[in-house]
């Protein structure tokens, strides 16, 4: 039961501290790049375009941005309902808490003392590009505060209960004279709850939660990228005194690959070819990220730096269908270890050259000649 999200700041390629101006200009630049009109038929660009807009919609609004900074995507998921997920009730409960803690004061504070939800936690995880391609099921062990078992989070030693707080007489508030005024504040003994624990639980000291290592199963879906976050609902810190737990966010970082560079779902690789293959054309085999060999046709006369595209052999689309492309940049290699016989053949070739074989060189030297003539006239 985890959801995968790309961090809004990562999407907009800005620092978390970016000001409105930086945010706006980065948004414009990216919206331009991924605009569907500029990338007709490219599902990947279209998805990215939507994500960028969603991210900017949130971050341009100071209130939404503050909420996002505190709670991440969870702050905006009340409308989505997370169809098919278990623990819906708990999720809606959490949302209530979130909005209460953001906008609580605006609702005129009903005076209800509600237990605070546990803190959200962050866990950083590195994965290889290979793992990002295939996805993987893994386990992590983290030390996290959990609801105390002996007292079920109540904080009371089993068999004992709570009694009315003597300091505030159960009101949860105390009055104190301050100069001319009488001020009311939360009771320091019971922290506003009106009750005190008779005998604190020995396992947790009355806190209702204890730090314990916890092993969690994490499913990393295919197509994740650096900046993708996986949310494990309710796996964060336990709330105090039996309050609901926060969420655990797994922040993914994809390690650099020896052969492939990645840009979204596109994989870029540089492949050296011999100069004879470049001149005559041919077919070469390169390894794909999925382990399958990719047959690549080299047209005769290809130049160094030319990029060839193999559709559908890039990274999978996160939570979508299909794969991006692979872009292969050709590097024509000049041989450095020729045998005497090979040199002889090349000299023979050289002897037959008229200059017409290489239009670019010919054009260049023609221009040089013109410059030279102009200078010497
Ligand atoms: Zn009290
Ligand atoms: Zn306990």
Asked if pLDDT for residue 282 goes beyond 80, the answer is yes
Q: How far is the CA of 156 from the centre of ligand 2 (A)?
A: 6
pLDDT value of residue 317: 93
Nearest ligand, CA of residue 149?
Answer: 2
Is-contact 137 218, C-beta < 8 A?
Answer: yes
Place of tokens 């989505």: 80
328 vs 97: which has the higher pLDDT: 328
Q: How far is the CA of 234 from the centre of ligand 1 (A)?
A: 30
Q: What does the radius of gyration of the chain's CA atoms come to, in whole angstroms?
A: 32
Span 85-124, pLDDT tens digits: 333 333 333 333 443 344 333 333 333 345 578 889 999 9
**Centroid of chain to Cα 214:** 24
Asked if pLDDT for residue 44 goes beyond 70, the answer is yes
Confidence class for position 74, pLDDT limits 50, 70, 90:
low
Q: How far is the CA of 174 from the centre of ligand 1 (A)?
A: 8
Angle at 307 between CA 302 and CA 311, to 5 degrees: 120
Alpha helices in the chain (DSSP H): 8-11, 20-34, 43-59, 62-71, 88-103, 129-134, 275-280, 340-352, 359-376
Asked if pLDDT for residue 269 goes beyond 60, the answer is yes
Q: How far is the CA of 196 from the centre of ligand 2 (A)?
A: 14
Mean pLDDT of the chain: 83
Percentage of the chain modeled with pLDDT above 70: 87
Nearest ligand, CA of residue 153?
Answer: 2
CA dihedral of residues 80, 14, 126, 290 (deg, nearest 10): 80
Q: How far is the CA of 344 from the centre of ligand 1 (A)?
A: 100
pTM of the model: 0.60
Partner residues linked to 173 by β-bridges: 186
Q: How far is the CA of 191 from the centre of ligand 1 (A)?
A: 6
Confidence class for position 58, pLDDT limits 50, 70, 90:
confident
């Amino acid at each position: 039961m985890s959801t995968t999200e790309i961090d809004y700041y990562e999407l907009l390629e800005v620092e978390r501290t970016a000001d409105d101006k930086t945010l706006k200009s980065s948004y414009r630049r990216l919206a331009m790049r991924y605009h569907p009109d500029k990338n007709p038929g490219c599902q990947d660009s279209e998805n990215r375009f939507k994500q960028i807009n969603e991210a900017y919609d949130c971050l341009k609004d100071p209130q939404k941005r503050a909420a996002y900074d505190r709670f991440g995507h969870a702050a905006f998921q009340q409308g989505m309902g997370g169809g098919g997920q278990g623990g819906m009730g708990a999720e809606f409960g959490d949302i209530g808490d979130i909005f209460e803690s953001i906008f609580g004061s605006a609702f005129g504070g009903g005076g209800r003392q509600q237990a605070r939800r546990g803190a959200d936690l962050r866990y950083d995880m590195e994965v290889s590009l290979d793992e990002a391609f295939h996805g993987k099921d893994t386990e992590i062990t983290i030390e996290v505060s959990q609801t105390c078992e002996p007292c079920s989070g109540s904080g009371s030693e089993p068999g004992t209960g709570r009694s009315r707080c003597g300091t505030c007489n159960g009101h949860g508030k105390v009055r104190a004279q301050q100069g001319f005024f009488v001020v009311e504040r939360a009771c320091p003994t019971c922290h506003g709850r009106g009750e005190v624990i008779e005998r604190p639980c020995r396992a947790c000291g009355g806190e209702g939660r204890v730090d314990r290592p916890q092993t969690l199963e994490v499913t990393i879906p295919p197509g994740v990228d650096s900046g993708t976050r996986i949310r494990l609902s309710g796996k964060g810190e336990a709330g105090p005194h039996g309050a609901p737990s926060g969420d655990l966010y797994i922040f993914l970082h994809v390690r650099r690959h020896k052969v492939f560079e990645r840009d979204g779902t596109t994989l870029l690789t540089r492949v050296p070819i011999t100069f004879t293959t470049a001149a005559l054309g041919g077919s070469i085999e390169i390894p794909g990220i999925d382990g399958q060999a990719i047959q690549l046709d080299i047209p005769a006369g290809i130049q160094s730096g030319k990029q060839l595209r193999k559709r559908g052999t890039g990274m999978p689309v996160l939570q979508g269908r299909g794969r991006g492309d692979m872009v292969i940049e050709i590097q024509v290699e000049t041989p450095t270890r020729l045998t005497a016989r090979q040199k002889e053949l090349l000299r023979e070739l050289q002897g037959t050259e008229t200059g017409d074989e290489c239009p670019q060189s010919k054009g260049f030297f023609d221009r040089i000649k013109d410059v030279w003539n102009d200078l010497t006239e």
